[in-house]
Homo-oligomer: A and B are copies of this chain.
């Protein structure tokens, strides 16, 4: 029929919308905590696409919560101020001056950029830090020696996040924490995302990274693991076959799943629309970790 040809492209598009229906249905009303960082944060184009994905998720009924890192912007800003960045085991040594700059960059710059972008794309975001509504309480993390104001989270108070979700906002969280000592603590964004996901009893924790996912064999690029259960994940951790940078991320996922998050995902933020691809397709694109069986993942 002539008409069908004329509208061929549009009909195809409609088909694709309808294909997403089972996923939309499945995750309707569910909370998804997204750790946003790495390349997806630096490339202007990717940034916008991530935020489009987030706004779409919100409009089709999911409740995305964003926890973001800071990365290179912090170092670059410290440099401008003539403050040297020191690292121990890949962790930034954080004196009071540095902690202040970290907070300014995370809360006063990156957080607001994300908020603005979401708002421009038609969502409604509110950006907060771990100090607001006493969201994240930390104390000094001494597990790698005394690195100054590097904290570990000891209490999560999700009241503000729940209020924002209830009222239709997308919470954007800069994981700067407060201590009972009145000090500001810098905490790891992956860990913060994990802890928040646990407290929210989230359906999903998704870590946007700069790798394709977890590899069964770190040397074999084709050995990407699509799905694994806790047992598999723990064995892998113990095997020593995991890449250094992946270790804390996998640990964070395992902990989250152990503490009630249904699925934890490590996905490639460098890929366009990786969030949608992971959530709205059967196969996914990265690595998904769940407690035991995945029977209920068959739509």
A residues contacting B by CB (< 8 A) are 3-4, 7, 10-11, 13-22, 24-25, 28, 49, 52-53, 55-56, 59-61, 80-81, 100, 103-109, 111-112, 115-116, 119-122, 124-129, 131-134, 159-160, 163, 167, 169, 176, 178, 182, 184, 212, 268, 270-273, 276-277, 280-281, 285
Known interface pairs A60-B59, A124-B134; A104-B115 also in contact (CB < 8 Å): no
Residues of B within 8 A of A7 (CB): 271, 277, 285
> Closest CB of chain B to A118's CB: distance in Å?
10
**A126 cross-chain contacts in B, Cβ below 8 A:** 128, 132-133, 160
Selected A-B contacts with CB under 8 Å, 14 pairs: A3-B212, A10-B277, A10-B285, A11-B271, A15-B273, A16-B16, A24-B56, A24-B60, A61-B61, A112-B131, A115-B131, A115-B132, A119-B131, A127-B132
| Contact residue among B52, B120, B163 (Cβ-Cβ distance under 8 Å from A163) | B163
The 8 Å CB contact of A107, one of B107, B131, B273, B276, is B107
Establish whether residues B116 and A131, one from each chain, have CB atoms under 8 Å apart when the complex forms: yes
Please indicate the chain B residues that have their CB under 8 angstroms from the CB of A106 in the complex: 108
How far is B204's CA from A193's CA once the two chains are assembled, in angstroms? 40
Tell me how far the C-beta of A76 lies from the nearest C-beta in chain B, rounded to whole angstroms: 12
Bound together, the chains give a CA A104 to CA B113 distance in angstroms of 11
Across the interface, do A112 and B176 meet the contact criterion of CB distance under 8 Å?
yes
Most B Cβ at <10 Å: residue of A108, A116, A133, A280: A108
Contact of A108 among B3, B105, B277 (CB under 8 A): B105
Measured between alpha carbons, how far is A4 from B285 in the docked complex, in Å? 11
If A18-B52, A125-B132 are given as contacts, then 4 extra A-B residue pairs at C-beta distance below 8 Å, sorted by A number, are A14-B273, A17-B56, A80-B81, A103-B112
Determine which residue in A81, A112, A176, A184 has the highest number of CB atoms from chain B within 10 A of its CB, and name it.
A112
Residue pair A59, B25 in contact (C-beta under 8 Å) = yes
CB distance from A223 to the nearest CB of B (A): 15
Taking a contact as CB atoms under 8 Å apart, the answer to whether B21 and A122 are in contact is yes
**A212: B residues at CB distance < 8 A:** 3
Report the minimum CB–CB distance from A283 to chain B (whole Å): 8
Bound CA span A17–B16, Å: 7
Q: State how many angstroms separate the Cβ of A26 from the closest Cβ of chain B.
A: 9
* CB nearest neighbor in B for A112: B131
Cβ-closest chain B residue relative to A123: B25
Contacts of A15 in B (CB 8 A): 272-273
A18-B119 contact given A59-B25, A103-B108, A108-B104, CB 8 Å threshold: no
> Which residue of B is nearest A83, CB measured?
B80
> CA–CA, A11 to B268, complex, Å?
13
Residues of B contacting A273 in the complex (Cβ-Cβ under 8 angstroms): 11, 14-15, 18
Given the complex of chains A and B, what is the CA–CA distance between A56 and B167 in angstroms? 23
CB distance from A74 to the nearest CB of B (A): 11
